[in-house]
Chains A and B, each alone.
Chain A
Amino acid sequence: MGFYVSFGTVLLLLAITAPSALLFGFAGAAAARSQVLPLSLLGKGYTAIVRGVPDIAFFLFFVIALDQAFEWVRHRVLCPDWTEPIRQGNDFIVCAQAKLPLGNAPQWIHETYGFMLAVLTFSIVFGAFAANVLYGAMRAVPRGQLETAEAYGMTERQTFWRILVPQMWVYALPGLSNLWMVLIKATPLLFLLGVEDIVYWARELGGIATPQFTDYPHGDWRMWYFLVLLIFYLAFTRVSEIALDRLMVRLSHGQATAAGEAQRKAAA
């Protein structure tokens, strides 16, 4: 049963992560474009920091780092009169009220908390990629469009929201669809973050860890379970490819790009 539910977990992760990563990315790209120096440095630094380092290292890093950051903040707020240091040698100690989730919380809260941490981590890492794509897309919008807007007396904010943002999507879509494919393929990394996802169940159900007690009367089927996962992902990417191609056709409609021009000619 858990095996089938875990497919839902993966889909849920995708459904939550994709928009929130887009949001992070949008904020990052907008910050990188900003006139204010600290803000633009922050935006550029955010995108730059993900380059050059394997992402799986980020996943492993952020889950612990975020967890400790939350607990540290709660510790500061909830237990102001705690005097002992938080880092004692190899231990990270906060007061009992600051524990996340609380020690006496039911199991499903623990699982949900782990899942939320995973979602947040995915959003941060993929937000950096999305920021990079959107930043490029914003720069690809023809300069003339923005100059025209300024000539009409629009403020900077109006130009950004009314001219730049609506037009940038067609330039961003190839990069974003690539990112979507990558996001699909990154979901098995959930397993590393301690969420009971499809990889976990494939290992559990297929395995014969304790043959004499096991409920599963078969040999080592893990290979077949992973074959199923492989096919699941292949099918998923193929469907996404087709859907994104359709979306690209729609978005190109009426745009000043080669694809838009081709559509205009075909219609005329």
Chain B
Amino acid sequence: MDDCLQTLADYGLRSIGIGERLLPRTDFTFCQQVVLIGSGMIWNVYFAILALGVGFFLATAVALGKASDTWLIRKPSEWFIFVFRGSPLFIQFFFAYFFFLSLKGPYPFFDAFTSAWLGALVVLFLNTAAYSGEIFYGALRSIPKGDLEAADAYGFSGWSKFRKITWPTMLRLAWPAYTNEAIFLFHATTLVFFTGFPALQQRGDALYYANYFADRTFNPFIPYPILAVYFILFTLAIIALFGAINRRLNRHLPNEARARMRLKPNIIR
């Protein structure tokens, strides 16, 4: 037990470079695997929160753009969504990494983009913006037209109509699908360190460490189940959080009219 506390102190924050420098090399204990993989989860959570948080706003903008009547706004939005939804995230990561790498030469400004914390974040951000943009666009098109007519009748227009009527209704309709998207994105964060982005000084995410242990011990039956348990726990946390928001978005509706949260199995993007 004391051993394990010591391991926790040594490796608890290993993934962000605090604590013991060397990873364990031989005699891997169960505790070490749990602690290190858990430490890697910091990165998964970091990528998921920031990409979703910032991506949300771009997604709204893209959804509005795709629903726009102006050709000049609609086409770029459609293409943005098509490019990011139509190609594998894996290839996007690779392309972005080498793209930033080649920009780095002439412009030192792009130095930070070649490391995972920023470069991969940008890719995840754009990717989730495209996927959620499509979800929001679908929701935007299925807003009951009675709601919008009622808003017109009450004298809402422009920004206040969007802010008070269109946007909340869009979110309410999109929320169950958006919850699934959040879960997909969270799972997609595991791809980061398997593409070009280097794990400097072996600071990687949960899957990076799980893979490290599986490679060293030739025994996949311990690290991967640990990883699975972590991911299931965090997925449940996401479901709880988004469920609470869903209840708030639907609080004005009678019980039976509320949108149910339906969870779909996660799928690679």
Interface residues of A (CB under 8 A from B): 47, 50-57, 60-61, 64-65, 68, 87, 90-92, 128-129, 132, 178-179, 182, 184-189, 191-192, 199, 202-203, 206, 220, 222-223, 226-227, 229-230, 233-234, 237-238
Q: List 25 A-B contacts (CB under 8 A).
A: A52-B231, A53-B228, A53-B231, A53-B232, A54-B188, A54-B190, A54-B231, A56-B187, A57-B210, A60-B207, A64-B218, A68-B220, A90-B219, A92-B219, A128-B265, A132-B265, A184-B88, A185-B269, A187-B88, A220-B98, A222-B98, A223-B99, A230-B95, A238-B82, A238-B86
Q: Determine the chain B residues whose CB is within 8 A of the CB of A226 once the complex forms.
A: 91, 94-95, 98
Known A64-B218, A202-B94; further 20 A-B contacts with Cβ < 8 A: A47-B265, A51-B263, A51-B265, A52-B228, A52-B232, A53-B228, A56-B187, A56-B191, A56-B207, A57-B224, A57-B227, A60-B211, A61-B214, A65-B221, A185-B89, A206-B98, A220-B98, A226-B91, A226-B98, A230-B91
Which interface class (under 10, 10 to 19, 20 to 34, 35 or more) fits B?
A: 35 or more
Report yes or no: B220 in contact with A55, Cβ–Cβ below 8 A: no
Which of B92, B102, B194 makes the CB contact (< 8 A) with A56? B194
B191 touches A233 (CB 8 A): no
| Contact residue among B91, B190, B216, B221 (Cβ-Cβ distance under 8 Å from A57) | B190
- Min CB–CB distance A109 → chain B (angstroms): 22
B220: which of A60, A182, A186, A192 is its contact (CB, 8 Å)? A60
CA distance A227 to B211 in the complex (A): 28
* A54-B187, A57-B210 as given contacts; A90 in contact with B231, CB under 8 Å: no
Query: How many A-B pairs fall under 8 Å by CB?
Result: 135
Known: A56-B190, A223-B99, A230-B91. A61 touches B265 (CB 8 A): no
A185 to B90, CA, bound (A): 8
Q: Does B83 contact A (CB under 8 A)?
A: yes
Output the least CB separation between B84 and chain A (Å).
10
A199 touches which one: B87, B91, B224, B265 (CB < 8 A)?
Answer: B91
The answer to whether A90 and B268 touch (CB under 8 A), given A202-B94, A223-B98, A223-B99, is no
Q: How far is the CB of B118 from chain A (nearest CB, A)?
A: 18
In angstroms, Cα B223 to Cα A64, docked, is 12
Of the candidates B86, B188, B265, B269, which one forms a contact with A129 in the assembled complex, judged by CB atoms under 8 Å apart? B265
Give the nearest-CB partner of B100 in chain A.
Answer: A223
* A179, A226, A229 interface centre (most CB from chain B within 10 Å): A226
B115 touches A (CB below 8 Å): no
Interface residues in chain B, defined as those with a beta carbon under 8 Å from any beta carbon in chain A: 26, 28, 82-83, 86-92, 94-95, 98-99, 101-102, 187-188, 190-191, 194, 207, 210-211, 214, 216-221, 224, 227-228, 231-232, 235-236, 263, 265-269
The smallest C-beta distance from A208 to any residue of chain B, in angstroms, reads 12
Q: Which residues of B are found within 8 Å of A68, using beta-carbon distances?
A: 218, 220
The answer on a CB contact under 8 Å between B220 and A61 is yes
- Contact at A182–B269, with CB atoms within 8 Å? yes
Complex CA gap A178/B269 in Å reads: 11
Interfacial chain A residues near B102, Cβ < 8 Å: 220, 223
Which residues of A have CB within 8 Å of B267?
A: 55, 129, 178-179, 182
Q: How far is the CB of B181 from chain A (nearest CB, A)?
A: 14
* A-B CB proximity, top 3 nearest: A54-B187, A223-B98, A226-B95
Q: Which residues of B contact A54 (CB under 8 A)?
A: 187-188, 190, 207, 231, 266
Contacting B268 at CB < 8 Å: which of A52, A189, A223?
Answer: A189
Q: B87 near A234 (CB under 8 angstroms)? A: yes
A63 nearest CB across to chain B (Å): 9
**Inter-chain contacts of A191 with B (CB < 8 A):** 90
Decide yes or no: A233 and B91 within 8 Å by CB, A64-B214, A182-B269, A220-B98 being known contacts: yes
Among the listed A51, A220, A237, which residue makes an inter-chain contact with B87, where contact means beta carbons less than 8 Å apart?
Answer: A237
Q: Which residue of A lies closest to B96 (CB)?
A: A226
A55 pairs with B87, CB closer than 8 A: no
Q: Is the CB of B214 within 8 A of A186?
A: no
Closest partner residue, chain B, to A53 (CB atom): B228
Query: In the bound complex, do residue A185 and residue B98 qualify as a contact, i.e. CB atoms below 8 Å apart?
Result: no
Closest residue to B263 on the A side, CB-wise?
A: A51
Q: Which residue of B lies closest to A58 (CB)?
A: B224
A203 CB contacts on chain B under 8 angstroms: 94
- What CA separation (Å) do A230 and B214 show in the bound complex? 31
Question: How many angstroms from the CA of A220 to the CA of B103 in the assembled complex?
Answer: 11
CB distance from A211 to the nearest CB of B (A): 15
A192 surroundings in chain B (CB, below 8 A):
194
